Amino acid sequence: MVIRAGADGELCAADLDALHDLREADPTTDERLACERTLRARLARVMWRPDRAPHTLRSEIRAMFERERGAGLPAVAPAGPLGRRDRTFWIGGPTWLAVAAALALLTAVSVVSRWPIAPAPWPGIQTGINAHLASAAHFIVAEHDRCSEFDTYYEHKFTVRDAASAGDAAVALLGTPPAAVRLNDAGYRFAGLGRCAVPGPGVSLHMLYTAIDPGRPTLSLFVQQDTGRDDIEPGVRYRVNHPDGSAVYAWRDGGLVYYLFSPDARAEADATRLLGAPALERSL
């Protein structure tokens, strides 16, 4: 249950601890998490596709009834004085309604089976060594949006609200201090730190920031222990492009992996500078 809830991003602070303990005890946990997230991404793509049943479906069903009527099966009787039809139609009705429903279902299945379902949520970076970055970026955007609601989920997750104590809390979780905690020079105020479940090996945390100027969106910095990643080359800042035009930035430094996200591109640029992110950028 904790893996499925983790894939949905529905874990409270205590459950996040349980998930991290499970990941450390069972090396297959990350694969199971990735499988659950991929399943949800695929279902989301299918459910949101605009494809509809062929416009000829109605006429095909009508033609089927006409052919059966011509073969001598009960016809639809005219309505009686109370607007009801006589029993001859309704005796045979459920059978043909079932046939029509089955035809509609088969048509829908044939439509869905033609849809290209990507193995990961963001097109273009779904294969090879960058698949993990795509998965992590998808999680980060969704988690950022959820935490930015500042509801009970935020209250449970972000157990550290004081910037002065955030550095010590980060060291306790990661074993080494992050490049920065305060991002005031980028126009953002510390709003909380909490343990997180970024895809991939290594304990991770999430720091959330609110804009000093009203009207600007929140900013998130996710930091994860670097256990030796093949998908993030040292000295490179990766830009993982989101379909809506925003981007997640990722890089390695000092035994940690950083993921930065905000819908505000200017805030991201200022924050990457303050955090000492590599100048060399590679887009995915």
The 10s digit of each residue's pLDDT in 70-114 is: 766 555 555 555 455 444 444 455 555 566 666 656 555 554 444
The pTM (predicted TM-score) of the whole model is: 0.61
pLDDT tens for each residue of 8-60: 655 665 676 677 777 667 767 766 776 776 676 556 545 444 455 666 777 78
Average pLDDT (229-253) is 87
β-pair partners for 208: 192, 220
- Cα separation values, 182 from 52, 123, 155, 163, 271, Å: 50, 34, 20, 7, 10
Rounded mean pLDDT, 180-204 = 90
Average pLDDT, the chain: 76
Which of 50-54, 56-60, 129-133, 159-163 ranks highest by mean pLDDT?
159-163
* Cα–Cα distance for residue pair 159/136, rounded to 1 Å: 23
CB atoms within 10 A of CB 125: 20
Residues 6+ apart with CB under 8 A from 1: none
Please indicate, yes or no, whether residues 164 and 261 belong to a single structural domain of this protein. Answer: yes
- Residue 184 lies inside a defined structural domain of this protein: yes
Range of the domain at 234: 121-283
Instruction: Please tell me the predicted confidence (pLDDT) of residue 38.
Output: 65
Same domain? For 127 and 108 the reply is no
How far apart are the C-alpha atoms of 167 and 133, rounded to whole Å? 26
Residues 64 and 145 in one domain: no
Task: Quote the pLDDT of residue 173.
Answer: 92
